[in-house]
Amino acid sequence: MEKTFLMIKPEMVKAKRQGEIIDFILRNRFNILRMKQFSFDLERARDFYGIHAEKPFFGDLIEYITSGEVIGLELEKDGAVGAVRELVGATDPAEARPGTIRYMYGASLQTNAVHASDSPESAEKELAIVFFED
């Protein structure tokens, strides 16, 4: 069994849509090993999105992700990284396949409902950042 990370972004928590997304994840046979609702502080947000530090949108991304609470989930399933990426859909909701989370809930490239790890290495790093106290 492989583990991965999925984060429900601030706009979904504010809109109280997180339950629908969690239910969708469970219906797709993922095991939820850990779940945590929290707010990113600046340091942890910069660490989490450090891969984008040199990109022009980095400041806006940090401002956005620290704007409200998020929900981090450690998920488990055979081939979890690929399976969750398929389930969430394209980063841009306008390009997401019908039936994916971003197609159903995403509004824009930034407010696209969820973040999902793109590799086992990213999942390990992101899980360590979010669940650092465990």
The tens digit of pLDDT for each residue in 84-94 reads 999 999 999 99
pLDDT class for 134, splitting at 50, 70, 90?
low
Please give the average per-residue pLDDT across 29-48, as a whole number: 95
Nearest-CA neighbor of 130 among 67, 60, 65, 78?
65
Nearest-CA neighbor of 45 among 115, 118, 108, 120?
115
* pLDDT, position 110: 81
115 as an active site residue: the answer is yes
Contact between residue 86 and residue 95 where contact means Cβ atoms under 8 Å apart: no
Catalytic option among 114, 115, 116, 127:
115
pTM for this model (two decimals) = 0.92
Contact between residue 102 and residue 93 where contact means Cβ atoms under 8 Å apart: yes
CATH of 2-130 among 3.20.20.10, 3.30.70.141, 3.90.79.10, 2.60.200.20:
3.30.70.141
- Quick one: residue 36, left, alpha or beta (phi over 0 = left, psi -120 to 50 = alpha)? beta
The tens digit of pLDDT for each residue in 51-73 reads 888 889 899 989 999 999 999 99
Please give the average per-residue pLDDT across 7-16, as a whole number: 97
* pLDDT, position 51: 85
